[in-house]
Structure 1
């Protein structure tokens, strides 16, 4: 789970495995695998960093950097 912030300054935890897409529209919009969209205060880069740290913390990306793991997951969907 990663900690993010709504625009009303309320923090919430999001299951990182539900994230399908992160865009700057110009606000950071996260599309979930369910189709739901969330707008958060964090930049897309901050969301990516949080996801990378999460993946490292659960050893899902052992042998490669967390950032590289996130990029590989993104490219697998293309």
Structure 2
């Protein structure tokens, strides 16, 4: 889970597993796998770092690396 901030200043926690895409339009827009879009204050690079940190915490990044090594 990653903590992000809506444009109105409200913070919320989002399950990063459901993120399909992060873009800057210039506001950072997160597209989820259910096609919902969320606009947040954090920059695209900040969101990418939050996602990477989350994947590392839950062990997903290491798991994906091992799968890539076996192919």
TM-score, normalization by structure 1: 0.78
Based on CA coordinates, which of the two structures has the bigger radius of gyration?
2
TM-score, normalization by structure 2: 0.85
RMSD of aligned C-alpha atoms? Answer: 1.9
Equivalent pairs, count: 66
Note the alpha carbon deviations across 1:19-76, whole angstroms, 9 max, x for none: 0000000100000000000000000000000000000101112278xxxx7xx9xxxx
Gaps of 5+ in 2: none
Moved over 3 A (4+): none
Partner of 2:32: 32
Gaps of 5+ in 1: 73-78
